[in-house]
Amino acid sequence: MIPTPFLRSPPFPGIAASLAAVSVMRETGDGAAPVGDDVLDAIVAARVGGAFWGARPGEPRRSDRAESDPWALVASVQSIHAQADEDVALIAGLLGVSVIGPDGAVIDPGQLRASLKTRIAAARYCDCFTGAPVDAMQAVTQLADWRRHIDGNRGIVAASGMAFWKRDAIRHFLWDGIASPPFLSADRGLRRARREQGALAVWPSRVPVTLPQDAADQGVALARVEDGFLRSRGLGAALHPPGSVVVDRTGIYYNARAANDLETLLATHDFPPALVDRARRLRERVCATGVTKYGPEAGQMIDLPAGRRTVLAIGQVDDDLSVRLGGAGVDGNLDFLKRVRRAEPDAWIVYRPHPDVQAGHRKGHLPDSVVLAHADAIDSGAPLMELVQAVDELHVLSSLTGFEALMRGRSVTVHGMPFYAGWGLTRDLAQPCVRRGRQLTVDQLVAAALILYPRYLDPVTRLPCGPEIMVDRMADGSTPPMTWLIALRALQGKFRRFMTLSAEFLHG
């Protein structure tokens, strides 16, 4: 019988095992030299190998065929009875837990480590996203990302407020190694979470405003789900499913009124040099490809006046939660634009409407005459990042454009309190947040916001992936095909915008 690789992929639902495989056993006689201690150290640090995605002791298995996480199992005991070649025995050898063999004798830990090195070397490894061969250490890195993704979903037993056109993606994002949570109404989700003593995943803008308090009253933990910062090649308002989400267990990144997982990372994480270097390379790749939250852009660049200070003011969606909870008292786009003019009385200001507003999907439209009373020009067609890099200063309320500008070394003035403000990287006009104040580098900010905080789903393989894969896919045009629903939504937005502009014309 051919043994299974020790470093192997989780059984991702709906994904062929051959597509997801990071390893396959070598043919007989095609051996390789045993791996070094550095690989074993990385395995211990990441807790991968064996069925690491399985249920932990004390967790509901939720499936008769569900495996147990051998790492959690071994960590909970002082000794274990097992064959020397079993995954659980090899893991015990790594963790310093005694392994008692069938003969009743304790197996030498050195023998277990040597056996594991040989078994790891007995497999070939590949990058499941490109098919390219990789070494065992790179396979460990991939499995570590998957372990972090799966562990982040443990204990989520129901999901509410997920739009039907996002649900297929959300099932993949929230899979916990055994199952994906069922989609239920807010009331039913709360009842299930309370009954199973688990967490309820919610899309904050699509559940009742009373839900957080109801959950607190009933002792139910919430996991708030939102789009990530490298989302997809299309607008969410146009019904393009997300390629990235965040799952926040303590708050949500755009709510500056309370702590959240991203803010905690930025305030407390030690950011080891290897992570910061990875963030630097990722940032450089993002900038080189021109990728933004909504993907590569096209359009005609506008002319900027020579010899005059130029400012770009980024409009937002007036009723967006990021404006209501992170706007620091700024009352919508008009108030924001007035504040920009007060802060830059002599500058040439160009106002950029939000794309969802421009497409007719969301609130926040300002008539041209109102905008031009405070700004010098309106632009909605220039490539945004090219424009950001051309002006002297960017002004934002809480827009992600400010973060993207920081990645490109631009000067950013912030009127609200987005997640990237308060760390010494921006000119902040709002009152400081007492939970912030630590001085960070741009690459530390990128490490937290693009690597540690979000989850990504490869649009080609549908496997959870890292941000590097998502950037490459967005840059080369890989995206799910246009659907009738997306086309219908686009027509709906055009009709709403036509009606808005017609009303402006009729009323002068």
The whole-number pLDDT of residue 238 equals 47
> CA 101, CA 80: separation in Å to the nearest integer?
9
The whole-number pLDDT of residue 130 equals 94
Enumerate the domain spans of the chain: 17-147, 275-476
The DSSP result for 116-145, as a single string, is HHHHHHTEEEE-TTT--EE-HHHHHHHHHH
Neighbours of 257 (CB within 10 A): 11
The whole-number pLDDT of residue 31 equals 64
> CA 379, CA 277: separation in Å to the nearest integer?
36
The whole-number pLDDT of residue 30 equals 63
With a CB cutoff of 8 Å and minimum separation 6, the contacts of 323 are 316, 317, 330, 332, 397, 398, 416
> CA 451, CA 414: separation in Å to the nearest integer?
23
Which spans in 159-260 are helix H? 167-173, 186-196, 211-217
Q: How distant is the alpha carbon of residue 147 from its chain centre?
A: 15
Q: How distant is the alpha carbon of residue 342 from its chain centre?
A: 36
pLDDT digit string, tens, across residues 210-238: 999 999 999 999 999 999 998 655 444 44
Residue ranges in the chain whose pLDDT is less than 50: 234-238, 482-486, 488-490, 493-494, 497, 500-501, 504-505, 508
The whole-number pLDDT of residue 27 equals 78
**Contact (CB, 8 A) for 408 and 287:** yes
Cα–Cα separations (whole angstroms), residue 241 to 57, 456, 481: 35, 12, 11
> CA 400, CA 354: separation in Å to the nearest integer?
11
> How far is the first Cα of the chain from the last one, in angstroms, to the nearest whole number?
81
pLDDT digit string, tens, across residues 60-102: 555 555 689 999 999 999 999 999 999 999 999 999 999 999 9
Cα–Cα separations (whole angstroms), residue 44 to 67, 143, 377: 20, 12, 57
Instruction: Give 98's strand partners.
Output: 79
The whole-number pLDDT of residue 293 equals 67
**Contact (CB, 8 A) for 420 and 445:** yes
Q: What is the SS3 assignment for 72-98? A: HHHHCCCEEECCCCCHHHHHHHHHCCE
> CA 325, CA 2: separation in Å to the nearest integer?
56
The whole-number pLDDT of residue 484 equals 42
With a CB cutoff of 8 Å and minimum separation 6, the contacts of 243 are 169, 228, 230, 231, 232, 233, 456, 457, 458, 459, 470, 473, 474
Q: Which fold has domain 275-476?
A: Rossmann fold (3.40.50)
